[in-house]
Structure 1
Amino acid sequence: MSVVLQPAARQLFNSYRADVARANGVESAKETFAVLPAPTQKIIQAYQQQADFLKLINIWPVDNAKGEKIALSIGTTIAGNTNTNLNPRQPTAVGSLDLVDEYDCTQTNYDVAMKWLLLNAWRHFPDFKKKLQEMVIRAIALDKLCIGFNGLFRAPTSDRAANPLLQDVKKGWLQKIREKAPEQHYKGEDVGGGVFKTLIGAAHEFKTVDALVEFGIEEYIAEQHRESGLVAICGRGILSDKYLPLLNIIQDPTEQIAARIIYANKQLGTLPAMYVPKFPAKTILITTPDNLSIYIQNGTFNRSIVDQPEWDRAVDFQSINEDYVVEDYTKCLLIENIELDD
């Protein structure tokens, strides 16, 4: 059944579209335009407000589609002495350039459909335009996290039905570690048939997930990074497995308070545990959030907002050239296939 966009909703939606056009110095947002730098920065900040983890990572503008990583971390010590009567002082570069793993910004489409049925329902809200903007921003922000943690490859045409976690949109941070730094990837032991498991339990090398995390820090993280604010990023299941036994018992009030305090200050080993939406199950990533970046190529953020009456909707077409980058592989460890063995 066809849906008609109500006059009040049409007026509000047209005003919203005119605001977008005005902010970017174009006559109409119905035709594709390049988003200006100032609105781009505001939109990036809006992404970060809608997904807290995006506040902790880097979102860097770059001029070229391909190039050397910014590589913020210092990969070595820098202090030293030089007898300048014999030799010149030799400064150490802050952030060694990784020529093996260059960034490569390719187009990602973030196209959001807005059904007229929804716009009609929202026409009664005094903050119609704000709600519409936040809906678009939140959808894109969460998709950026989903790609970063689940992206495996870039297909010419992605298939959301076959890859609901956006595995075929772009290579994310975890896949970059698997491919570019396999020495920083712990996938467990081969239990047969090419199946790997990182088993936790009394009968195994790692009795607890805390021991696994401490092993990972000592054996895989470069020494100069071990005191640099590492966190253990994980899915909710890892924390449930650890803390459910603590919470799932009858306790007196004092013990209940103590248990809640312990749970509120969740840790894995000696590291703060950080649950992030869209992070895969049975997986832990040890790193600092600022070791993860999204590079966006300047001048490639394009947008148009058009009606599609044949679908009873409007669509906000957005695209940008971007890449997901791990700045320093020696500052991270990806642990996968974690299973508790009772």
Structure 2
Amino acid sequence: SVEFLDMLTCLDVDQLSGQVISVGSSVLHTGRSESGRFIRQVGVDGNDYSLVETDSCAALRWDLLSVWANAGKDENEFYNLVQAFTTQAFALDMLRIGFNGKSRAKTTDPEANPNGEDVNIGWHERMKTLLGGNQIMTDPVVLDAAGDYKSLDAMASDLINAKIPAQFRNDPRLVVLVGADLVAAE
């Protein structure tokens, strides 16, 4: 699951708020023109961002640190184990918050919000406000032999054709993410 983060663009910025600039568009940029050069203009657009200070911390028990400090083939083993653990823990947190985030609380409550719902605005919540949420399916649907969709393939196909803009539908990078509940239902 952490590998999903490699598909996302995460860039450092100098400002706490600003605009994300998207250069280009998903139109064909290659062709010919009988009257000269084939030219497509590159568009520039984007959306706003606003950052807030967020802490990530991984406290390791003393007995675990002791085992790790004395384990391994060389002096870097301890560092590598701690680094691997914290990198994975923080990456999984990014995914939890990305998929489940609903708000930005001044003080978060991990007991009441175990998936980081109060840490930051997640991707789903962001899409509900972007373009008036018209790309989000909100009507309940049934996945079974007598339901709205007979298979996950049919559901994904309808989602792509109904909610994804035409220029993105055949993009080879297009991925449909499916939750465990839908996989179990099929």
> Are the aligned partners of 2:103 and 2:117 in contact in 1 as well (CA < 8 Å)?
yes
Q: Which amino acid aligns with 1:227?
A: N
Identity of aligned residues (%): 28
Q: Which amino acid aligns with 1:92?
A: Q
1:80–1:147 distance in 2 versus 1, CA, 3 Å: farther
Of residues 240, 247, 272 in structure 1, which corresponds to 2:184?
240
SS in structure 2 at match of 1:130:
helix
> Are the aligned partners of 1:148 and 1:172 in contact in 2 as well (CA < 8 Å)?
yes
1:241–1:203 distance in 2 versus 1, CA, 3 Å: closer
Measured after TM superposition, the shift of residue 210 of structure 1 is 1.9
Measured after TM superposition, the shift of residue 110 of structure 1 is 0.2
1:30-72 C-alpha deviation (Å, 9 max, x unpaired): xxxxxxxxxxxxxxxxxxxx92111222111222222222325
Of residues 57, 64, 75 in structure 2, which corresponds to 1:118?
64
1:203–1:51 distance in 2 versus 1, CA, 3 Å: closer
Of residues 215, 226, 231 in structure 1, which corresponds to 2:175?
231
More deviation, 200-209/52-61: 200-209
Measured after TM superposition, the shift of residue 80 of structure 1 is 9.4
Cα distance in 2 for residues equivalent to 1:120 and 1:205: 56
SS in structure 1 at match of 2:92:
helix
Structure in which a larger fraction of residues adopt strand: 1
1:145–1:73 distance in 2 versus 1, CA, 3 Å: farther
1:192-231 C-alpha deviation (Å, 9 max, x unpaired): xxxxx22123433323332221111112211111111211
TM-score, normalised via structure 2 length: 0.82
Measured after TM superposition, the shift of residue 75 of structure 1 is 5.1
Q: Which amino acid aligns with 2:142?
A: L
Map of 1:172-211 to 2, 5 A cutoff? 172-181=122-131, 182-188=133-139, 197-211=140-154
Unaligned runs of 5+ in 2: none
Q: Which amino acid aligns with 2:169?
A: R
TM-score, normalised via structure 1 length: 0.47
Measured after TM superposition, the shift of residue 165 of structure 1 is 0.3
Which of 1 and 2 has greater Rg? Answer: 1
Cα distance in 2 for residues equivalent to 1:204 and 1:214: 15
SS in structure 1 at match of 2:96:
helix
Map of 1:1-342 to 2, 5 A cutoff? 51-71=2-22, 74=25, 76=27, 92-94=41-43, 96-98=44-46, 101-126=47-72, 127-181=77-131, 182-188=133-139, 197-229=140-172, 230-242=174-186
Cα distance in 2 for residues equivalent to 1:133 and 1:76: 41
Runs of 4+ residues over 6 Å off in structure 1: none
> Are the aligned partners of 1:153 and 1:170 in contact in 2 as well (CA < 8 Å)?
yes
> Are the aligned partners of 1:68 and 1:97 in contact in 2 as well (CA < 8 Å)?
no
Cα distance in 2 for residues equivalent to 1:213 and 1:135: 35
> Are the aligned partners of 1:147 and 1:172 in contact in 2 as well (CA < 8 Å)?
yes
Measured after TM superposition, the shift of residue 160 of structure 1 is 0.2
- Bigger relative contact order, structure 1 or 2 (CA pairs below 8 A, ≥6 apart): 1
Q: 1:24: which partner in 2?
A: none
Unaligned runs of 5+ in 1: 1-49, 85-89, 189-196, 243-342
Cα distance in 2 for residues equivalent to 1:134 and 1:179: 36
